[in-house]
Structure 1
Amino acid sequence: MCGHLDTVKSPKKAGSAGSAAYHHGDLRAALIRAATAIVRERGIDGFSLREAARRAGVSPAAPQHHFGDARGLLTALATEGFRMLGDALAAADSTAMDRDGRIRAQGRAYVAFALDHPAEFDTMWRCARIDTGDASYAAAAGRAFGLLKAAVAGTPLEDGERPAASPHAAPDPKAIACWSLVHGLARLALDGALGPAEAARGAIDGMLEPVLDCLAV
């Protein structure tokens, strides 16, 4: 059998049907799914590249071909998180009729994303564990934060545009205030400060609108 890193078969009992192999184009996605599951179960500090390879059914060396090291795979996970967050913010923004509605819709979408995708959300902000200079990461983060900035400024932003701004740049004070508010609520919910997951969703639904009312933006 060829030892190419993109074609590594999972161990199977002899004679078993449906022997799986990850071919070129599949392995990268499989490793990101494995990393997501590990971070959700163990937290980012419990993540290891070897465990991701084991769960994906490939050799320990296989992930290096696509990501280089653990930092590279976690950066890919964070990038995917920002892409999904950007999509959620864009969808929410498109349903609003005015500036206030855009800010509120994006705020609700931000918190919902964090609760629905805790592994990605946690990884997106762990700057010491990821490569924030990665071009794909910077583009995805810039798009997501650019959507928030545009809503706060009351200006349009065509989806697909790649603004230079990112959460790690010097942001607009009003945008940072809105971001801090919804990010703080999301973090409190994920950390259990607002009760179990479903209770937290209900608590946030009840408090987000009044909190936004108090924030003069």
Structure 2
Amino acid sequence: MSAAERILERDGIQALTLRATARAAGVSHAAPASHFGDLTGLLSELAALGYRRFGKAVFEAMEAAGEDPRARMKAMGRAYVGFARKHPGLFSLMYRSERLDPARPALRDAIAEARSALRAAASARAQEQPLPPLQTAAQSAALWALVHGFAVLLIDGRLSALIASLPGEEGADTLLEAVLATARVGE
């Protein structure tokens, strides 16, 4: 699996094949097929690994933020974008549903674990400020769209010119904090 992840991060999803994975891992060309079945199986297992890491990163960031639901929401947003920056290939793969098999137990379970970490932040906020279900869902969707969109724009290089135009030492992290503040995340 580590060989596949290295190829994904270094060369992108288009370079990730069963044959390339076997070559990088130093095993027979048939080994990945016997273990994963096909390329969709390999990609799904790799995405499952990503979701487990992602869920852990989000959970740990929220735990480190303490009990304040507002601080936890901001920490979740920072961890979401931070994961995408650290693992851009894996992050992109995780959201390529046309290349994944959602029926694979490992992927299904890893997605559920990651979602539970994200729901924990939303439920803490909802307990502090009870809202009707539609409004709670709208807030969750808005936060997800905000941080996911920021992460995608960042890893695709679409924010490079904007970040380069910022004064002084300000960069992507400063811009993310300003975006979270503008959207009133954590308020």
Runs of 4+ aligned structure 1 residues displaced above 3 Å come to none
- Residue 216 of structure 1 deviates from its aligned partner by 5.0
Q: Tell me which structure has the larger Cα radius of gyration.
A: 1
The CA RMSD over aligned residues, in Å, is 2.3
Match of 2:155 in 1: 190
C-alpha separation between the residues in 2 aligned to 1:99 and 1:184?
22
Residue pair 1:185, 1:204 contacting (<8 A) in 2 also: no
Gap regions ≥5 residues in structure 1: 1-31, 157-170
The question of whether the paired residues in 1 share the 8 Å contact of 2:55 and 2:113 is answered with yes
1:100 and 1:208 map into 2 onto residues whose CA distance is 16
Check if 1:150 corresponds to 2:120.
yes
* More off after superposition, 44-53 vs 100-109: 44-53
1:56 Cα shift? 0.7
Kindly state the Cα deviation for residue 39 of structure 1 after the two structures are TM-superposed.
Answer: 1.5
Structure 1 contact 37–119 (Cα < 8 Å) conserved? no
- In the alignment, structure 1 residue 203 sits paired with structure 2 residue 171: yes
2-structure distance, mates of 1:211, 1:118 = 20
Cα deviation, residue 155, structure 1: 6.4
Structure 1 residues 83-106: Cα deviation after superposition (integer angstroms, max 9, x where no partner) = 001110110111222111111001
Structure 2 SS opposite 1:172: helix
The answer on 1:66 being equivalent to 2:31 is no
Provide the rounded CA distance (Å) in 2 between the counterparts of 1:116 and 1:44.
16
Paired residues in the alignment total 170
Aligned partner of 1:195: which letter? S
The percent of aligned pairs where both chains have the same amino acid is 42
Corresponding residue for 1:176? 141
Structure 2, unmatched stretches of 5+, are 127-135
Partner of 1:128, secondary structure, is: helix
Report matched runs for 1:48-127 at 5 Å: 48-96=17-65, 97-127=67-97
Tell me how far apart the structure 1 counterparts of residues 56 and 30 of structure 2 sit (CA, whole Å): 33
The normalised TM-score by structure 1 is: 0.71
Aligned twin of 1:44: 13
TM-score (norm 2): 0.82
Distance 1:48 1:104 in 2: 37
Instruction: Provide Cα deviations, 1:158-194, integer angstroms capped at 9, x if missing partner.
Output: xxxxxxxxxxxxx932212111111111111111122
CA contact (8 A) 1:75 1:131 kept: yes
* Cα distance change of structure 1 residues 104 and 155 upon mapping to structure 2, 3 Å threshold: closer
Q: What letter corresponds to residue 71 of structure 2 in structure 1?
A: G
Contact 1:38–1:52 (Cα < 8 Å) also in 2: yes
Q: Which has the higher contact order (CA 8 A, sep 6+)?
A: 2
